[in-house]
Amino acid sequence: MRSLQSHPVKFTVLLALVWAFVLVLPTMVVASGHGAAAQQSKVAYSGGPPQLEKAKGDACIRESGWMRRNHMDFLKHRRAETVREGLRIRSESLVRCAECHQSHEKFCDQCHNYVGVAPDCFECHSYPK
């Protein structure tokens, strides 16, 4: 009876495998882009560096370089505060982005396609084409 040293190890391995299956499956679905978080039509990227449409206004609410690097965190952080705390900063509302950057395809998608990301924000939020 005492010679079963290896069993718990094997056992743990088996359990881990099963759990991995259960947890990995949803993750795979997301990764494959088929999840409910269905992502935007990915336009195969062709051509040189992204060409951004020129913005309408004089200046962005933050410095452009900062925006380029941080807009996603900025939006996401604000998203939580807006939904949950009711924070409304009217001058910095997402709706107002479109006042200057008037086309999703000519502005947002340009970089997003270039770097191959497909955020699903605009599955629900509307933004001018």
Partner 1 sequence: MLSNFTKIEGRSFSYWRIIILLGVLILMGAGAFIAVEVQGHGITGMNNKIAWGVPHVFAISLLVMASGALNLGSMSTVFAVKQFKQFGRFSAFLAIALLVGGLAVLMLDLGRPDRLLLTVMHMNFRSMFTLNVFLYSGFIVLCVLYLWSMFEYQQYTKVVGSAAFMWRVILTTGTGSIFGVLHAREVFHSALTAPTFVALSLSSGTAISIILLVTTFKHTKRELEDKVVFGLRNALIFFTLLVAYLLVVEKFTKMYSPAFYDVQSWILTGPYSWLYIFGVWGATILVPLGILFHPAKGNSIKGVYWAAFSAVIGTFAMVAHILLAGQAYPLNMFPGYEVSSVFLDGVSATYTPALVEFILGFGGIAITGIIYMLGIKFFRMLPDKAVAPEGYELPWNP
Partner 2 sequence: MTMDRRTVLGLGGVATAGVVLAPGMTLIASPQPDKTEASGDQRWAMLIDVNKCDSDCTACTKACRQENNVPLFGDPNRDIHWIRKLEIRDKEHKRPSVSLPVLCNHCEHPPCAHVCPTQATFKRKDGIVLVDKHRCIGCRYCMLACPYKARSLVYHKTTIPEDGNPKVPIRAKGVVEKCNFCVHLVDEGEKPACVQACSKEGKNAMIFGDLNDPDSEISVKVRTVKTQTIRADLGLKPHVFYEGL
**Candidate ranges 12-20, 67-75, 85-93, 106-114; the one touching partner 1 (CB under 8 A):** 12-20
- Residue that has been written with the tokens 């001018």 in this structure: 128
What mask, x for binding partner 1 by CB under 8 A, covers residues 21 to 50?
A: xxx-xxx-xx---xxxxx------------
Contact 85, 27 (CB under 8 A): no
Which residue from 18, 99, 105, 111 is in contact with partner 2, where contact means CB under 8 A?
Answer: 99
Q: How far apart are CA 68 and CA 60, in angstroms?
A: 11
Q: How far apart are CA 128 and CA 110, in angstroms?
A: 14
> Is residue 96 involved in binding partner 2 (CB under 8 A)?
yes
> Is residue 124 involved in binding partner 1 (CB under 8 A)?
no
Binding site for partner 1 (CB under 8 A): 1-2, 4-5, 7-8, 10-12, 14-15, 18-19, 21-23, 25-27, 29-30, 34-38
